Structure 1
Amino acid sequence: MAILECKELVKSYGKAAALDGVNLTVESGHIVGLLGPNGSGKTTLIKLANGLLTPTSGEILVDGKKPGKETHSVVSYLPERTCVPLWMSTRKLLDFYQDFYADFRRERAEEMLQHLNIRMDQTIKQMSKGTREKVQLIMVMSRAAKLYLLDEPIGGVDPATRDYILNTIINNYDPEAAVIISTHLIADVEQVLDEIIFINQGQIVLQSSVDQIREEKGMSVDALFREVFKC
C-alpha cells in the first residue's frame, strides 16, 4: 500500500521552484533513500510530507490524506537540526514523548538509552553533539509510526555514531511501515536501503530498487549517484 504519494507536486519560494512537478509513490515496508546534492529539494519534500509546508500546486498524500493534524499520528519526523530544548533532561524528554504521542514505546526508548549509558537526569545541553543526535533518533524510532521521515540523520557525526544510527533505524522500524532517509552521504546509507529516489533541482531523476540498480547497471548506488550528479 502507498504510504506517500506525490502528484505534479510544486513548491515555490517566490519565483524559485524548490520542487517542480514531482510524481512519486512510496510503498509501506521499504527503507527508501531520498538522495540528491545539497539544495536539490530533499528537505522541502520532507517538510511537505510532515505538514510543515503547504504545496504551491499539485498534491501530496500521506496514508491517503493531505498532511496535517490527521497524519501527525502516523508520521515520525527527525528534523535536520536538533530541535529538543537544551534544558530538558532525558526523563523529561521521555515524559514529553509519552504525553504527546499515543504510539510512543517508552520501554523500547529506555532500553536503548540504557545501552548508551545515558543518565535519566542528564540534560540535552550536557550531551555531546553525537549523543544528542542518538537521543533524538531514539525518540523518533521508538514511535510505532507508519512513516518515518529522517532528514540528514547521519550528517556531521563520526563514523561510529553513523553505524549506531543506521542500526537503530533497521532494528526499530515496523516492517509494515516505510522509512525515508534524506541524505547526500550515499556510501554510508546504501547498505540499509531497499529503494532510492534521486532528486535534483526539484525534479525526480530516478526511482528504483537498489537490487535493480546493481543488476541492470552493474554498479553500486554510490557509483551511480556520482555518475548522475558529476559536475
Structure 2
Amino acid sequence: MDQLLELDSVNKRYGKKAALKDVSLSVGPGRIIGLLGSNGSGKSTLLRIAAGLLVPESGSVRIQGRRPGPGSKALVSFMPDRPQFESWMTVGDALDFQRDFFADFDVDKSKRILEFMRLSRAEKTLSLSKGMQERLQLALALSRRASLYLLDEPIGGVDPVARDHILDALVEFYEEDSSVIVSTHLIADIERIFDEVLMIREGSLILQEEVEQIRLNSGKSIDQLFKEVYAEC
C-alpha cells in the first residue's frame, strides 16, 4: 500500500522567517503519530502543507502518491487549532455543514461520536465551554471516513478531564486503516496514545521514531526526552 503521506525536502518561508527547513518524512497506515514541538516550531505549517492548505516553496508532497489538490483533499480530514464553526450555529448546524461539504461524512458515525462526546445537536456553539468546543472540533474531523486525520493542538487549553475524553474519542473513532497526526506540546497528557513521534525544532525535523524504540533505547518517556531536547533551545 502507498504511504499515506510523503514529504521530500519541503521548505516554507513567511517573509524572511524559515518555517520549515528541508523536511522529509513518510507516514504509513494504521498509526497515531505525535507531532511534537514548542510553539512556533513549524507544527501548524507542516500540517497545513500536508492538508493542501499551504504550498511549499520547494520540495514535494504526496498524499497516497498524489500531489495535493481536490483529489487528495478528499483523503485528508484537517482539524485546525481554531474553531471551524460560526457563532450562530448549533452543534447540529456545524455537523450538517460538514456533511454537505464532504462526501465521505458518515452520519451514523457522527451520531455515535456526539453521544460519546456528550454533545447535543440543539446546543448553541456560542454557549459551549472550551472543552466542549474542542470535542465538537474533533467530532467534525472524525465524522469523515478519511485516510489521514491531521489534528492541530486538539487538547490545547482544556482541563485534564476534557483531555482524557478527547483522547479516548480519538482512539475510538479514527479509521483503523488510516493514520492520525496530532500536533501538541502537552506531551505527558497525550503520549499514551502514540505509536510514533515526529519532533520538530525551529522548522527542522530532528526525529521520527517508534515510541517503544525510544523508550527502549533511552529509558525515558517521550515527555522526558522532549524536555531534554527543547531545553537546549
2:195 counterpart of 1:194: yes
1:126 and 2:127 matched:
yes
1:89-128 maps to which residues of 2 (within 5 A)?
89-128=90-129
Instruction: Provide, for residues 197-218 of structure 1, a one-character-per-residue CA deviation record: whole Å limited to 9, x for no partner.
Output: 1100110111100010011111
Q: SS of 1:7's equivalent?
A: strand
Q: After the TM superposition, which of the residue ranges 85-94 and 209-218 deviates more from structure 2? A: 85-94
Report the residue type matching 1:153 in the other structure. P
Equivalent residue number for residue 219 of structure 2 = 218
Task: Find the residue that maps to 1:5 and give its secondary structure.
Answer: strand
How far has the Cα of 1:119 moved from its partner? 2.9
Q: CA deviation at 1:99?
A: 1.4
Matched to 1:118, the amino acid is L
Does the Cα contact within 8 Å between 2:199 and 2:206 map onto a contact in 1? Answer: yes
Of stretches 64-73 and 78-87 in structure 1, the one that deviates more from structure 2 is: 64-73
TM-score, normalised relative to structure 1: 0.96
1:116 and 1:33 map into 2 onto residues whose CA distance is 22
Q: CA deviation at 1:32?
A: 0.5
Aligned pair 1:150/2:158, yes or no?
Answer: no
Q: Does residue 1:51 correspond to 2:52, yes or no?
A: yes
CA distance in structure 1 between the partners assigned to 2:119 and 2:208 by the alignment: 39
- Indicate the residue corresponding to 2:40 in structure 1: 39
Which runs of 5 or more structure 2 residues have no equivalent in the other structure? none
Report the TM-score when normalising by structure 2: 0.95
CA contact (8 A) 1:50 1:68 kept: no
- Which sits farther off after the overlay, 109-118 or 209-218? 109-118
Deviation, 1:186, is: 0.7
**CA shift in 2, pair 1:9/1:116, >3 Å:** closer
Which residue is equivalent to 2:8? 7
Per-residue deviation at 1:111?
A: 2.5
CA distance in 1, matches of 2:166, 2:122: 23
* Counterpart position of 2:180: 179
User: Are 1:12 and 1:19, in contact at CA under 8 Å, matched by a contact in 2?
Assistant: yes
Verify the 8 A CA contact 1:28 1:178 in the aligned structure 2: yes
Q: Secondary structure in 2 aligned to 1:34?
A: strand
Q: Alignment length, in residue pairs?
A: 231
Taking the aligned partners of 1:115 and 1:194, their CA distance within structure 2 comes to 23
Q: Secondary structure at 2:144's aligned position in 1? A: coil
Cα offset for 1:179?
0.2
The residue correspondences of 1:40-79 to structure 2 (distance < 5 A) are: 40-79=41-80
Aligned-residue offset at 1:115: 4.1
Give the C-alpha shift of residue 103 in structure 1. Answer: 1.4
* Amino acid in structure 2 at the alignment position of 1:22: V
Shift of 1:174: 1.1
Pair 1:115–1:229, CA change in 2 (3 A):
closer
In the alignment, the residues of structure 2 paired with residue 225 and residue 94 of structure 1 have an alpha-carbon distance, to the nearest angstrom, of 36
Deviation at 1:117, TM superposition (A): 4.2
- The answer for unaligned runs of 5 or more in structure 1 is none
The residue type equivalent to 1:217 in the other structure is: S
Q: CA deviation at 1:86?
A: 1.1
For the 8 Å contact 2:88–2:124, the answer to whether it is kept is yes
Q: CA deviation at 1:114?
A: 3.1
1:176 counterpart SS class: coil
- Secondary structure in 2 matching 1:2: coil
Moved more, 111-120 or 37-46: 111-120
Cα deviation, 1:53-107, whole Å, max 9, x if unaligned, reads: 1111111111111222111111011001112111111222222122111211112
Q: Counterpart in 1 of 2:26?
A: 25
The alpha carbon displacement at 1:112 in A equals 2.8
The one-letter code matched in structure 2 to 1:58 is: G
